């Protein structure tokens, strides 16, 4: 985990996949401060570089307040939030939401459409019939799998831009932003900090990492990507000074039936666990969008995933297949990596 005493290590595990940020020795007039908080049902590590400790701590407070504000707008497990009200009124009536929530829903629905449901904002309604805690003793029946996704379907989400309303056509439907919301919160904090004159920092929402600026010694932030085939080794170290990195992985949580591995990332369209890729790391300007892509690419698979990402040249990826093969998008500069 992140330890900030002049020579800290930044370590966070997400979906069984470890991302490390190594923070170098503070040799300048600037100071680095870090705090960990549980927000949006996840762990957030907030690191700020500022001219003094008080400024850094106050801006960490600002980030925490902003993440809490977002959580109170979009959390789908709280009935009183705007998204909670949308879900409670599924099949009944449209619910007016704030412009911010509506725009986030628009982006999430757009992502659902361009991935043909590889990412589906209505996945929150899926029955959790797959268990990855060791309690499963047999495969779910095809009937149970089919029934588990009956209420999932982004095509049944109606957005009314004129009235800023969201309507779920069928009773029992739910929408949830999940880690996409964590990525959005990380982006928001970065934008706020830059606007306030904070020139460097990291916001890490359970593995959705947004960076800007440089370390106090003038070096780039270093993101270490762990080898999913062997947790105690680093596959690559990637320098970042501006941008996001998000990883989705499936190698740690899985079950085995008849010699076949079924991992915990579920295809929203079929109800079955995805196969083919054990991890996907996406780099780009937005943590929100990188999160959506990393999840989608896991579901779409290597060929369809690379084809999708090719339409967004600001984003690049590293994929690792179930058999340990490393695949990168053509626009990634592997020469910058320390392999």
What secondary structure does DSSP assign to 16-61, as a single string?
A: TEEEEEEPPP--SS-EEEEEEEEETTEEEEEEEEESSHHHHHHHHH
Lowest mean pLDDT among 73-77, 178-182, 237-241, 273-277: 237-241
Indicate if the pLDDT at residue 139 is higher than 70: yes
The more confident residue out of 47 and 252 is 47
Indicate if the pLDDT at residue 4 is higher than 80: no
Q: Which of 176, 181, 188, 174 is nearest to 40 (CA)?
A: 181
Q: Which of 104, 102, 117 is nearest to 156 (CA)?
A: 117
Q: What is the pTM of this model?
A: 0.88
Query: Is residue 17 very low, low, confident or very high in pLDDT (cuts 50, 70, 90)?
Result: very low
pLDDT score, position 18: 38
- Find the helix or strand (DSSP H, E) in which 253 lies: none
For residue 127, the SS3 value is coil
Q: How far apart are the first and last CA of the chain?
A: 22
Indicate if the pLDDT at residue 252 is higher than 70: no
Average pLDDT of the chain to the nearest whole number? 87
Residue 257 CA to residue 86 CA, distance in Å, equals 38
Query: Is residue 299 very low, low, confident or very high in pLDDT (cuts 50, 70, 90)?
Result: very high
Residues 199 and 213 sit within 8 Å (Cβ to Cβ): yes
Average pLDDT over every residue of 211-234: 82
The more confident residue out of 107 and 78 is 107
Residues 81 and 36 sit within 8 Å (Cβ to Cβ): no
Summarised one tens digit per residue, pLDDT across range 146-202 is 999 999 999 999 999 999 999 999 999 999 998 899 999 999 999 999 999 999 999
Q: Does domain 82-168 have CATH number 3.30.420.40?
A: no
Average pLDDT over every residue of 51-64: 97
Tokens 């392999």 sit on residue: 339
Lowest mean pLDDT among 5-9, 14-18, 186-190, 330-334: 5-9
Query: Is residue 232 very low, low, confident or very high in pLDDT (cuts 50, 70, 90)?
Result: low
Average pLDDT over every residue of 301-323: 94
Residue 280 CA to residue 250 CA, distance in Å, equals 9
Positive or negative, the Cα torsion across 45, 48, 53, 59? negative
Average pLDDT over every residue of 122-132: 91
> Phi and psi of 3, rounded to 5°?
-120, 125
Using a pLDDT cut of 70, give the percent of the chain over it: 88
How do the domains of the chain map onto residue ranges? 82-168
The more confident residue out of 22 and 185 is 185
**What are the tokens at 80?**
């009183």
> Phi and psi of 283, rounded to 5°?
-110, 145
């Amino acid at each position: 985990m992140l330890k900030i005493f002049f020579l800290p290590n930044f370590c966070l595990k997400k979906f069984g996949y470890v991302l490390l940020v190594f923070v170098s020795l503070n040799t300048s007039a600037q100071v680095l401060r870090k705090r960990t908080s549980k927000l949006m049902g996840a762990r957030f590590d907030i690191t700020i570089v500022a001219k003094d400790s008080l400024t850094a701590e106050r801006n960490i407070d600002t980030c925490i307040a902003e993440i809490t504000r977002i959580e109170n707008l979009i959390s789908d497990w709280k009935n009183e939030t705007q998204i909670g009200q949308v879900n409670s009124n599924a099949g009944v009536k449209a619910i007016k939401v704030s412009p911010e929530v509506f725009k986030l829903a628009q982006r999430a629905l757009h992502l659902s459409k361009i991935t043909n449901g590889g990412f589906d904002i209505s996945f929150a309604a899926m029955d959790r019939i797959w268990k990855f805690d060791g309690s499963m003793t047999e495969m779910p029946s095809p009937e149970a799998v089919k029934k588990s996704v009956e209420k999932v379907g982004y095509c049944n989400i109606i957005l009314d831009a004129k009235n800023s309303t969201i309507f779920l056509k069928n009773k029992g439907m739910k929408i949830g932003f999940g880690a996409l919301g964590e990525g959005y919160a990380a982006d928001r904090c970065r934008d706020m900090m830059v606007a306030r004159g904070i020139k460097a920092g990291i916001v890490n929402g359970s593995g959705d990492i947004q960076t800007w600026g440089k370390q106090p010694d003038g070096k780039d932030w270093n993101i270490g990507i762990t080898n999913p085939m062997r947790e105690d080794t680093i596959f690559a170290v990637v320098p970042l000074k501006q941008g996001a990195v998000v990883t989705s992985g499936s190698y740690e949580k899985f079950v085995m039936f008849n010699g076949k591995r079924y991992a915990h990332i579920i295809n929203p369209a079929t109800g079955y666990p995805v196969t083919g890729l054990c991890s996907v790391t996406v780099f780009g300007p937005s943590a929100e969008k990188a999160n959506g892509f990393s999840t989608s690419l896991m579901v779409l698979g290597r060929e369809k995933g690379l084809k999708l990402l090719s339409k967004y040249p600001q984003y690049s990826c590293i994929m690792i297949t179930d058999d340990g093969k490393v695949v990168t998008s053509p626009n990634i500069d592997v020469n910058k990596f320390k392999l």
